[in-house]
Structure 1
Amino acid sequence: MARREEGSAAPLVHLGSPGVCSKGLQRKGPCERRRLKAMVSEQLSQDLLRLLEEEIHTDVTLSIDCTLFKVHKAIFLARVPAFYFHIFGQTSNNLINHDPIPVKNVDASEFKTFLQIIYSSNRNIKNYEEEILNKMTVERIPQMKLDINFQKCKNSSDFSLQKHEIPEDVNDKDNSLISNDNCGLEPASELGEDLLKLYVKHCCPDIDIYVDGKTFKAHRAILSARSSYFAAMLSGCWAESSQEYITLQGIKHIEMNVMMHFIYGGTLDFPDKTNVGYILSIADMYGLEGLKEVAIYILRRDYCNFFQKPVPRTLTSVVECLLIAHSVGVENLFDDCMKWIVMHFARFWSERSFANVPPDIQKNCLHMLIQSLVSIITYILWFVCAIKNLFSFE
């Protein structure tokens, strides 16, 4: 079956090259997208909940009576900014000295439930935030915008974070790379949308990633929760765990940008001209199973048209998808491509794209075709014998 050969690279296939336009999706498309969105959304939720439960790279502690809760400032800033400013806005000394910050007028069990909602809820949690704030204080705190607009609030007296944590103008040159290339990509859920704002606006990053001459500002906790590769790198076993930056080799900044958007937002699409095969390869390298599923979905949609009836451009693009699946080792996708080619082999055998397929894959395809024909002939013979026996009985 499909196996990734040592040192092999995914074919250079880009979105926007031969393939089926997403506007031509058949009825299977919406169903597949809903399934993908639900899967990616649930995975993002579970990863963030594990971040809370296992206390991975926490940076602040909250206390209720004798109960301590180790949490992440960045997650609070992304999901419950009004609560964040109320609790942390005037307590910069506590943040520096790592002293527990008291939370008043809230029961410990109730607050634990609130934390689980912050970290794992896929929906808008503004109502939960307001309910907790109403219990914490008699005076209603001023309602703040929940879109994390730091340009308006960074000079406010309620915003007393350390200077290096306050992002500069979000329209600078470095940020334009991150926001424009992925404009319009759909996050998997409200949780993904909130985290994506955190990333795009460079809010409270604690590590820089240097890739291909570009800098990506990120959060150790989120990287560790979402990627097994980053979890190992930042756990203490690697030298990078104690550094304020890491450098990644063998990945281009465009693909890194796609990967970061998925890590934070669980985005369900790739920008135009993205090398899907390369994304599939690095998703495997960095332990991002969800990103692999998104790449496979895009290949099925844009290159295989979900294996509907063939149209002229589909013939070439299915062969390209077959080669990608073979190079990366995605066996289920490889098998589906092979079955579809065998089913429509009469149209494929004279195609130049099929002639350029490696000989071993051509032999596999021919072997499957022979097996398919033998099965058909066997069925026909069985059917003829059954009819013959029926008439003999009469």
Structure 2
Amino acid sequence: MARCGEGSAAPMGLLASPGVCSKGLQRKGPCERRRLQAMVSEQLSQDLLRLLREEIHTDVTFSVGCTLFKAHKVVLLARVPDFYFHTIGQTSNNLTNHEPIALENFEASEFRTFLQVVYSSNRNIKNYEEEILRKKIVESGVPQKKHDFNFEKCTDNDGRSSTESLGKKSPDCSLLKHEIPEDISNGEDNLVATVNYNLDPASELGEDLLKLYLKHRCPDIDIFVDRKSFKAHRAILSARSSYFAAMLSGCWAESSQEHVTLQGINHIEMSVMMHFIYGGTLDFPDKANVGQILNMADMYGLEGLKEVAIYILRRDYCNFFQKLVPRRLAPVLECLIIAHSAGVESLFADCMKWIVKHFARFWSERSFANVPPEIQKSCLNMLIQSLHHF
């Protein structure tokens, strides 16, 4: 379970392994997770759709009749790799970003719908892609023979094109546990590499994008954190994070750089952030500092990641406030301090209500003495107010 580790706002006397009551989780846990997954999934879909509509960092243009459509190679490669091959792949070496690729067998409205599905659908769109290829590409006379095309590191070791490997659910594409990119897997001090945690994406869209990131498909920017490299894509970062959107928009010096260094964040937190940006993942590794990630999510404009951190605090520290767990009161007090420090008023209020409800238990806890005095005073005031209602 993720916990608040060294460097968080919580006093060291409060640090303890959070406990989870299985019965409580059975009642509320799955429902809360489904709600969170639906929210994160919808947010990811809307972010990518906005990326398409606002034409941010586009690098390919299609011509359908007199209508031009700007898009992103990495999104097409991740979601519709065969379409990418048949259109961009066989002509990319001869085109500049400003020369449109003509699609003769489409209506403008049809292609607009196609792009919207590619960018926003939370479902597997392989069958849809195959239908489009069969009706609009292959039948129009484009040869089905596949050619090798050189698009940076887009070829697997076995000689298959990246479009072939991305289109198949092979074992090495499994997202059930943490996959460490080669750039950050070396070194004895890499704590992420020692931890396995659930990398379940929020949707099929998240799975496709997360594969793109984990397999280093055609990145266009390197982000260095703790002297470790995270290869990423400007378009995806800008779509998902208001911080990165500002950094890469042209207003900052970093907008024209291929390498960017971030301060005030460690590589574990960066890894968590990147997996959420691409896949909408809902879990953190054991060594992750939830309090720090909560603050980081606020700084980088990742509201969904804040919700994930709050969910983990409720689940791992407070057992969703379902049942008082003996000898597991310190995590609730720790969560109270984290919520206060991060300004999460709803979580702070829930912790306060829970502590007041079981004040006799919490007051006798040694860790209660380590709670900042102003928060102790708030607890006592709320207790007094609750007594006035009787």
TM-score (norm: length of structure 1): 0.84
Q: Check the 8 A contact 1:226/1:263 in 2, yes or no.
A: yes
Following superposition, the deviation at residue 93 of structure 1 comes to 3.0
Pairing of 1:207-286 with structure 2 (within 5 A):
207-286=221-300
User: Retained in 2: the 8 A contact 1:12–1:277?
Assistant: no
Q: In the TM superposition, what is the alpha-carbon distance from 1:343 to its structure 2 partner?
A: 0.2
* Alignment partner, residue 89 of structure 2: 89
Q: Percent identity?
A: 72
CA deviation string 1:327-372 (max 9, x = no partner)? 1111110000000000000111110111110111111000000000
Deviations 1:50-98 (A, max 9, x none): 0000000001111111111100000001000111111122112344453
Provide closer, same or farther for how the CA distance between residues 251 and 156 of structure 1 changes in structure 2, counting only shifts above 3 A. Answer: closer
Match of 1:151 in 2: 156
Q: Secondary structure at the match of 1:217?
A: strand
Counterpart in the other structure of 1:61: 61
Q: Does 1:113 align with 2:113?
A: yes
Is 1:137 aligned to residue 158 of structure 2? no
Q: Which residue of 1 aligns with 2:170?
A: none
Q: Is the aligned partner of 1:300 residue 2:314?
A: yes
Give per-residue Cα distances to partners, 1:104-139, cap 9 Å, x unaligned: 311111110010000000000011101110122227
3-state secondary structure, aligned to 2:355: helix
Specify the SS of the correspondent of 1:151.
coil
Contact 1:63 1:102 in 2 (8 A): yes
Task: Quote the residue 1:344 is aligned against.
Answer: 358
Once superposed, what is the RMSD of the aligned Cα atoms? Answer: 2.7
Check conservation: 1:185, 1:268, Cα contact below 8 A: yes
Residue of structure 1 in register with 2:182 after alignment: 173
1:201 is matched with which residue: 210, 215, 224? Answer: 215
Task: Name the SS for the 2:116 alignment partner.
Answer: helix
Q: Secondary structure at the match of 2:263?
A: coil
Partners of 1:175 and 1:200 within 8 A in 2 = no
For residues 90 and 157 of structure 1, what CA distance do their matches in structure 2 show?
14
Could you say if the C-alpha distance between residues 175 and 301 of structure 1 is closer, same or farther in structure 2, counting changes exceeding 3 Å? Answer: same
**Distance in 1, Cα, partners of 2:381 & 2:273:** 38
Q: The residue matched to 1:320 in structure 2 has which SS?
A: helix
Partners of 1:32 and 1:171 lie apart in 2 by 28
Alpha-carbon offset, residue 186 of structure 1? 1.1
Cα gap change, 1:331 to 1:157, in 2 (>3 Å): closer
Cα distance change of structure 1 residues 149 and 313 upon mapping to structure 2, 3 Å threshold = farther
Residues 258 and 55 of structure 1: CA distance in aligned 2, closer, same or farther (over 3 Å):
same
In structure 2, C-alpha distance between the alignment counterparts of 1:284 and 1:79, rounded to whole Å: 29
Counterpart-to-counterpart distance in 2, 1:181 and 1:143: 40
Provide Cα deviations, 1:187-226, integer angstroms capped at 9, x if missing partner: 1000000000000001111111011110000011110110
> Match of 1:388?
none
One-letter amino acid of the counterpart of residue 290, structure 2: V
Cα pair distance change 1:210/1:171, threshold 3 Å: closer
Output the CA distance in 2 between the equivalents of 1:355 and 1:143: 69
Using the alignment, how far apart are the partners of 1:12 and 1:261 within structure 2? 29
Point out the structure with max Rg over C-alpha: 1
Equivalent residues, number: 354
Cα deviation, residue 175, structure 1: 5.4
Q: Equivalent residue for 2:50?
A: 50
1:321 maps to 2:335: yes
Q: Which residue identity lines up with residue 151 of structure 1 in the other structure?
A: D
Counterpart position of 2:18: 19
Q: Distance in 2 between matches of 1:305 and 1:156?
A: 47
Letter in 1 for 2:361: R
Alignment check: 8 A CA contact 1:106 1:132 kept: no
**CA–CA distance in 2 between the matches of 1:235 and 1:86?**
31
Counterpart AA for 1:90 = Q
Aligned to 2:169: none
Alpha-carbon contact 1:51-1:221 (below 8 Å) kept? yes
The AA in structure 1 aligned to 2:310 is: I
CA contact (8 A) 1:94 1:100 kept: no
Q: Is the 8 Å Cα contact of residues 82 and 163 (structure 2) preserved in structure 1?
A: no
Whichever residue aligns with residue 225 of structure 2, its letter is V
Aligned residues of 1:207 and 1:218 also touching (Cα < 8 A): yes
Structure 2: tracts of 5 or more residues without a match: 1-6, 148-152, 165-178, 187-191
Mapped contact 2:184–2:228 kept (Cα < 8 A): no
**Which segment drifts farther, 305-314 or 107-116?**
305-314
In the alignment, is the contact (CA less than 8 A) between 2:243 and 2:301 conserved in 1?
Answer: yes
> What residue number does 1:33 align with?
33
Q: Which amino acid aligns with 1:73?
A: K
Rate the CA distance shift 1:153–1:63 in 2: closer, same or farther, 3 A: farther
